[in-house]
Structure 1
Amino acid sequence: MSAASRRRPSGAAQPPVVGVVLAAGAATRFGGGKAVARFQGERLVDRAVATLTAGGCDRVLVVVGALDVGAVHHAILVLNPDWTTGMGSSLHAGLFAARDAAAVVVTLVDQPLIGAAAVKRLIAAWRDGAPIAVATYDGRRAHPVLFGREAVADVLPTLTGDAGARAFLAERTDVVAVDCTDTGRPDDVDTVEALRRLSP
């Protein structure tokens, strides 16, 4: 099959591309409440939603746990009742809620320097035929990660407890690496001090 024949059509009649923000962790090192912490005057959860929306996602889901994040504009909250078991269960909750999407773009709530351009590049790679696309920064895989519909069905049974998609992605030979080095940085914010020190 040629690259041209694998390209996916775009348009309003197509199933949506859905963004998923993982925001259900306990954030113990942060002291809790990480999703609603502010960076440059904006809550981290709102910033992540805005990034996915600006990047081309038609709808955004935010996976939450015990923390009450309040209203999140332009997003739908998805409760992960098993959030204490780890990120794998949150990824499962988000992907399951978006399982009818054409593709799902996953990002983390605590990486505020991820850029909308990275999301756009992953979606472009998927439209060009990539079943799975992963952003890379200086050659290293990070977020966001895009799963096409078929890949969502494949990865869901592998997600249990704290086991995320890393092993699944490592075994797949059809993962397309998309260089996003110039679009932002995938810095994790694990502590309040780390958030204070963070700068674009």
Structure 2
Amino acid sequence: MTVTGIVLAAGDGSRLGGRAKALLPHRGRPLLHSVVDALEQGGCDRTIVVVGAYADEVAAVCPPGTTLVHNPRWEDGMSTSLQRGVDAAAGSDVIALTVVDFPGINADLVRAVLTAHESGTVTLPSFGDRPGHPVVFDLVDAVAAAQQATGDEGARSFVSRNRDRVRRLDCAGLADPGDIDTVDDLHRLN
């Protein structure tokens, strides 16, 4: 079974003052490195990073061994990045999908979600009432989620339409579920 991690990192960080979230400092290195390390150490065989707004800058710091995919339509929303990432993951059996602005991700969290995943389900980590990342799909479901996604919603509508197949995994205590959207959120980085 081949497990591919997909990191959505194409946005322009407009709510953060126009900065590449992938480049934010986290534990002495770019946040992107922490996210990729968590996926790979947690059980992903390969990692795809989807870039857009700051493609050249992110490419310059992309960890060795990752597959970089450029999304020229990043301005059309997260759905286009999801589509590009899933297309690049062809041949995989399982997809672990995350966003780059989730500094709490770690190998234990990724491993727990991958271990709990069962074929035919969508495994969604939850932190109390709050859904989180990485979301784990069989490739066929990731393809369907990418095809159904529109605008800036990513896989959310697919997950909502398939609630009967969603397996929520309580991950409270494994990670801080907060993401980095605004300047006020920067305290989560260290």
TM norm. shorter chain > 0.5: yes
Rounded Cα–Cα distance in structure 2 between residues aligned with 1:22 and 1:48: 10
**Residue in 1 that maps onto 2:133:** 143
Partner of residue 45 from structure 1, selected from 16, 21, 32: 32
User: Per-residue CA shift, 1:23-64, capped at 9, x if unaligned?
Assistant: 001101222122111022121111110110111000001000
Gaps in structure 1 of 5+ consecutive residues = 1-13
Amino acid at match of 1:80: N
TM-score, normalised by the number of residues in structure 1: 0.85
TM-score, normalised by the number of residues in structure 2: 0.90
**Residue in 1 that maps onto 2:52:** 65
Amino acid at match of 1:118: L
Pairing of 1:1-200 with structure 2 (within 5 A): 14=1, 16-31=2-17, 32-67=19-54, 68=56, 69=58, 70-73=60-63, 74-126=65-117, 128-129=118-119, 131-172=121-162, 173-195=164-186, 197-198=187-188
Amino acid at match of 2:124: V
User: Per-residue CA shift, 1:81-119, capped at 9, x if unaligned?
Assistant: 110011111111111211321100011111101222121
Q: Is the contact between residue 20 and residue 63 of structure 1 (CA under 8 Å) also seen in structure 2?
A: yes
How many corresponding residue pairs?
184
Rounded Cα–Cα distance in structure 2 between residues aligned with 1:163 and 1:77: 22
TM-fit CA distance, 1:193: 4.4
Amino acid at match of 2:81: S
| SS of match in other structure, 2:90 | coil
Q: Is the contact between residue 5 and residue 39 of structure 2 (CA under 8 Å) also seen in structure 1?
A: yes
Larger Rg: 1
Rounded Cα–Cα distance in structure 2 between residues aligned with 1:141 and 1:34: 20
| SS of match in other structure, 1:106 | strand
| SS of match in other structure, 1:124 | helix
**Residue in 2 that maps onto 1:10:** none
Q: CA RMSD in A?
A: 1.6
Identical-residue share of aligned pairs (%):
37
TM-fit CA distance, 1:183: 0.8
Q: Is the contact between residue 139 and residue 179 of structure 1 (CA under 8 Å) also seen in structure 2?
A: no
Q: Is the contact between residue 11 and residue 20 of structure 2 (CA under 8 Å) also seen in structure 1?
A: no
Amino acid at match of 1:44: L
Gaps in structure 2 of 5+ consecutive residues = none
| SS of match in other structure, 1:198 | helix
